[in-house]
Chain A
Amino acid sequence: MPEEYTPPASPTASFYDLSEDDEEYSTITHTSTGRGVKLLYTKSKVYVHPTPSAKDNIPGFIALMQQKPPTSVAADPSDPVNPSNLLLAWLPESAIGTAYDTYVKVDLLDTGTPPKQTYLVPPPPISSGSSPLGSYSFSIPVSQIYSLLVRPPSLGWWWGSIVINSRGGDSFPALFFHDSECASTIAQSKARTKKNFDPFGESGELFWGGDEVLRWLKRFVKVERSQVEKTVYLIDPSKDDLLSFGQRPVIDSTAGKNRDAAAANASGSGDFAAAVMDPFTKVIKSARWSLLEQFAKVTQFSRQTATNMLDNPNLPPQVRKLLKNPDVVSLQDDFDSARLYLARWAMGIAEQSERERAKIVWKREDMMEMEDSAVGEFEILDIEAGNIRGDGDRRRVVDLKEWNSWWNKSTGRLEITADEVKERIFHGGCEPAVRKEAWLFLLEVYPWDSTKDERAALMNSRRDEYVRLKGKWWDDVSRREGEGEAGEYWRDQKNRIEKDVHRTDRNIPIFAGEDTPHPDPDSQYSTIGTNVHLEQMKDMLLTYNEYNTTLGYVQGMSDLLAPIYAVFQDDAVAFWAFVGFMERMERNFLRDQSGMRAQLVTLDQLVQLMDPVLWKHLEKAESTNFFFFFRMILVWYKREFEWDDVLRLWEGLWTNYLSGQFHLFVALAVLERHRAVIMDHLQHFDEVLKYINELSGTIELNSTLIRAEALFYKFQRTIEASDRRHGFPSPGTARPMVRLTHRRTDSSTATTSSTTATANKGKAVDKGDGPEITDQLREMLSRDYVRVEKKPEDEEGKGKTPARE
């Protein structure tokens, strides 16, 4: 419980006389007591949850109030309000008494600024250390608030909450915002949606009651969101606070001096990297795995463990603070999915430090030091990744100058090998200006050995061909009128395409507008409006049906087309690039889903081979169907990464530089990155699915690519080692290899002694005969991608000749 604190100003001077009239504004007075405070803002239906049972929840008001400044200070109306005269308070409904109507009124005022009229209410009790049990009311001067722990509603947290931490190091009980009951929040969120179609709050997340509290405070004090722990907002933070919360170090002269001093004190060269790291990253680095492990303990075991953990001297102060918070400690009592919260939180920190570290080349000794036997194997991977990362020049972006230097000035023929180009793009990616050309090679519209003139001629014929294909439906009036079976099919396809195009990447400027009236009055979107790019997208997808007459439009295809169209912004050129992309993606969209299944099975085998311990865990969690990678594989991580990252990822994958199925190594890299969390916290299919789905928007692309590359090399070595053992490939072995022998024979018996059993099993695979390598796994060494096999009669309709009718 928070300790008492002493209000800074003379308390007798800090209340308004309830009978005293403000000169400018009429005053609502309260007569129950003689003194009052100005109620600036309040929000209703903010609850304290004293026990896990909803029965015990206590509804109340959170409020920002203004005390009267001490009389000795000359009242200057232009003076900003001194934060020590502001009180942030929570009062249970039951304690408000006759002021209730005033609270309700102010709650519903919904003005950006404090009310013009002065609403006076009785002063709240100061702090609550000694209040009788059951009354959780408290108030604290804003100047005494150190930070707010703000958790918007999300998975498992249907009520968003705020915890107030005082400068004295105390936490008040968590306040839960029951937005669905709060009239003002409902009204505000509706207004927001109406006004600018943006139901999202300040943080870009869903608007909720807590956003309002932050907004109130920002009117009077500086509120800084922590860079490391996104749920922490610091109130009027000092520089030190900012630094320890992982704000990018401010480069000013004093900071520079400190660093120099630190560097000078450092004895070995290994310490130098440490010296330039901010203190927080440093702590995380030195405590890296043990910290994660301890988080696991907090969530799996008890309050007691958490208390013990507080004795750990390595614990960063903000983590300590968080753990002290009774709300967090009792998480596991409250919700089944609570452990996910801490897990994700811990992962967020790790991810952040990964970003910070991006430029530091790891020293092998550092790595060894950090290593923990439990995760040893994959730490070694990090060393490998570290070495790859150190290869700085290869990861430079290919700019126009470099690109142009590869081509003969007069003939336009490539003067280095195609492999060299692919290697550069695989590692560095393309600058936007390069994409318009490079992608046409990567997507096999242009042959690598063509001349400039050949390409110009080729593109001309492609343009004609596009116009011809498009004309097939465009000029077919009876089909467009929906006549007959063909017409019905065409209409249905058009509806599907239209519905998805209107839901595809509308946040990207070229797809955002609705400025053009819809060309088709019968369309489901005729009232909404469209834009020229959306219309082009629809036409291209309809035209693709004329090119590939067997597939039909499938959801996800619009996701694949959008980036290509956006880069070229020329329908004919983009169409053929899309055709090239679909060559390799077609199997994802087959009617029987065989292509998706095949990839999920391959991924299953890959994980089995590369990380049998993790695989065992996933098997126990009934997740070895790897369905949780379905979305990532179907549209190549389109929904997981931001737009720019998608472009970078795809062009790398298109090179086939290491493998025609490198996207599965990316999946493995994502999985390995989250291995610890998955192993420690996720026990069921739904938990795994939710966790992986929610990685969307949080994955750091560069380190993922590096990790995927390291994993590929490791995979290659594993297979080579196995082949050596088997004297494979022996000449004339046409027979497919036997599958890994894993199937579910022992799953029912393996529950109790699981950890040791699994560990032994993992090793057993590597000893003796070693793993058997399936055909699917071996195929991943190939730089060819997997095409859908066409029946001979289809074949002639493919490629560069017109589609069959």
Chain B
Amino acid sequence: MAEKPHMNLVFIGHVDHGKSTLVGRMLLETGHIEQHIIDKYREQAEAKGKGSFEFAWVMDALKEERERGLTIDVAHKRFNSDKYYFTIIDAPGHRDFVKNMITGTSQADAAVLVVASPEGVMAQTKEHVFLARTLGVGQLIVAINKMDATKPPFSEERYNEVKEETTNLLKTVGYKMDNVQCLPVSAFKGDNTVKASENMGWYKGITMLQALDNLTLPEKPSGKPLRLPVQDVYTSTGVGTVPVGRVETGVLKPDTKIMFMPSNKVGEVKTIEMHHEQITQAEPGDNVGFNVRGVSRNDIRRGDVAGPVDDPPTVVKSFTAQIMVLNHPSVITAGYTPVFHCHTAQVACTVEAIQKKLDPKTGDVKEENPDFIKTGDAAVIKVRPTRPMVIERAKDFPQLGRFAIRDMGQTVAAGMCIDVEQK
């Protein structure tokens, strides 16, 4: 049988809202935890005189399983639905990992936002929603969890309150509700995860597993123009200049001319290798090295982006961005010049103007031209790089339009480019 289509699924949400428990529940109920592990825990619990099967054992079993060590290739939990196979990314909670989410990891195809119904939207819920949007994750499942723990349990009223609160937040950052599925679950008890819940007769919608099957596979960005951020440049005797990097969009082919920006150098791709083997073309996600004629090692550098000569990467004079301040000790005002980490580039950029402050509750503009913004604020700003830099509109190239802002050894903010003024 042909392998099912693959999706990267990122789990996000506030601390303790039940991300791990929901992953564990899905693994168990889709048959992705080995039976002998479950049996072992069942036996142990029975020996201790606890009769019935406890879901908590499953979580212990999963912890123990990972202690035995995972290889580099099997870093992720995976499970299948009818339609897809999923690999799970559980997003780190601390904001100091945001830089790596933005510049490092591969593109997530969909996100599961876990919101505990007794608490509702919390600080990290907001950060993670903003992050998902910045990462270009278009589809979202909102699992309103711990429905067994509302007062009274399985309260429809509470579900609707939390749903509305979450929906408002999602609209603020620009989610279209057509691409969002909200549903009530109890990850711990197993309500509405794989089977419809008997405790929520008022809910007529789909289960978590059905929501996963309803996701659509995002199109591979191979139809877009080539964008390949350069990680490093080598020289190899007899081969010449060899840039190394990951194709983000488009296709890299031998015997084509490409342009490196902002270095503004044109070269001809001769051969492309991946895993030391020659390939006839490199697609999005491929980590490759290739030799180029007409470009010397010192002509180009890390932070350059390769693209077609007739549609080269955009070098900006300035750009407009939507950002969220994650962690700044005081306030950000016009004139602030931190370092922007965008694809493989790190460039000091000046915040020229703070144009709007946004209200995370309603999505409305809270203030035009505010004097300052601080931790927790979302804003639209105008930015001017202190030296030439490639950045694209996130709408066109999500991988090249998102960035983390770093200052004094910390990730201060994250955001995405919404408009560019070309150089």
Q: Do A and B bind each other?
A: no
Interface, chain B (partner A; CB < 8 A): none
Interface, chain A (partner B; CB < 8 A): none
